[in-house]
Amino acid sequence: MVKCNWCSIEKINESIYALIDKDGGWFLSNTGIINMGSYTLVIDTQYNESRAKDIINIINDLGFPKVGLILNTHPHGDHAWGNHVFNVPSIMHKNANNVVEASINIGAKIYEQFFPNLDFKGSKYTLPDIIVGDEGIVLKSKDGEINVKYLGPAHTPGDLIADIDWANTVFAGDLVFNEVTPLAIDGTVLGWINALDKLEIIADNKKIVGGHGGIADKNVIKLIKEYLQNIANGTKESLSLGIYDPLAIAERIGTKPLDNWKLKERIVLNVARAIMDYQNKKPGEIVTNLPELAFKMAKFSL
């Protein structure tokens, strides 16, 4: 019997499973498992060693072949810090590789004070072995092709999705959140809206496994787009009125249509990134005033 403490194990078909984290909050993300025939592909490796080991156990229990390849949808720790546990090659977008190169010596230590309930044992970056450009890459499995696509900078500068026509499924990484508020601080609000326009077409009538929250369909893309568009419009208007404080702007805009989603306060960080977009800061450019923004985020109430 296959068990998981932190995830529900969702069967997509005989060859594909999604491990859906039961909470979906900070660092608590989803993983994909695909039996390719001679090996198993893991999409995102979780944030710590014990979760990565759980993935290996689940794969064994399912009777799938040994893990042979990792696809990281993006360079955030909750999707990539478990890579080293598998000891197999990993794939990232070139912009994600740049982020990992810049962050490889910064451990998870800084996060321990903010998230005392999380276990950061063995949380560390590994440089990818295969770097994918904007044209993406095709992985051939026993059942058909897995199209790894780049839709432009969005949640981070280097997000990849795995589009699987024969399974009617897209693993969208953090381009899609479900019932957990999306986070744009390391990417770009305006770019993310563009990427979702493309994803809406790709994911039409498909199941969408996002990075956080349960399996969704294209309706969730509409909701996230509306939320990000509200932030973009409201931020632009506020700036034109001389309002520059992300907390004040966030409280003007509100969290529609995601009012009932968890971690609503993330809107403060999303507005901060929208301000950077309008200042023509590059997607993913380092945010220098993060402690101040975290303080403002804690004050957000609507």
Q: Are strands 40-43 and 16-21 parallel, antiparallel or unpaired?
A: unpaired
CA distance linking residue 115 with residue 130, whole number of Å: 32
Q: Which is nearer to Zn ion, 36 or 263 (CB)?
A: 263
CA dihedral 289, 295, 296, 302 (to 10 degrees): 150
Q: Kindly state the smallest distance separating residue 183's Cβ from Zn ion, in Å.
A: 8
User: Quick one: how far is CA 265 from the chain centroid?
Assistant: 18
Q: Which is nearer to Zn ion, 249 or 263 (CB)?
A: 263
Q: Are strands 137-140 and 67-71 parallel, antiparallel or unpaired?
A: unpaired
CA distance linking residue 266 with residue 142, whole number of Å: 41
Neighbour-count burial of 119, counting CB atoms closer than 10 A to its CB (0-12 exposed, 13-18 middle, 19+ buried): middle
Interacting residue ranges for Zn ion, rule: CB under 5 A? 29, 76, 78, 174, 211
Q: Kindly state the smallest distance separating residue 148's Cβ from Zn ion, in Å.
A: 18
Q: Kindly state the smallest distance separating residue 79's Cβ from Zn ion, in Å.
A: 6
Alpha helices by DSSP H, 109-217: 109-112, 189-202
Q: Which is nearer to Zn ion, 77 or 234 (CB)?
A: 77
Q: Kindly state the smallest distance separating residue 145's Cβ from Zn ion, in Å.
A: 26
Are 269 and 293 in contact, with CB atoms under 8 Å apart?
A: yes
Q: Which is nearer to Zn ion, 149 or 266 (CB)?
A: 266
CA distance linking residue 22 with residue 31, whole number of Å: 12
Q: Kindly state the smallest distance separating residue 22's Cβ from Zn ion, in Å.
A: 15
Q: Which is nearer to Zn ion, 173 or 234 (CB)?
A: 173
Q: Which is nearer to Zn ion, 247 or 297 (CB)?
A: 297
Q: Before 257, cis peptide (omega within 30)?
A: yes
The DSSP bridge partners found for residue 63 are none
Q: Which is nearer to Zn ion, 187 or 211 (CB)?
A: 211
Q: Kindly state the smallest distance separating residue 172's Cβ from Zn ion, in Å.
A: 11
Q: Element (H or E) spanning 18, and its range?
A: strand 16-21
Q: Kindly state the smallest distance separating residue 44's Cβ from Zn ion, in Å.
A: 8
Amino acid identity at 220: V
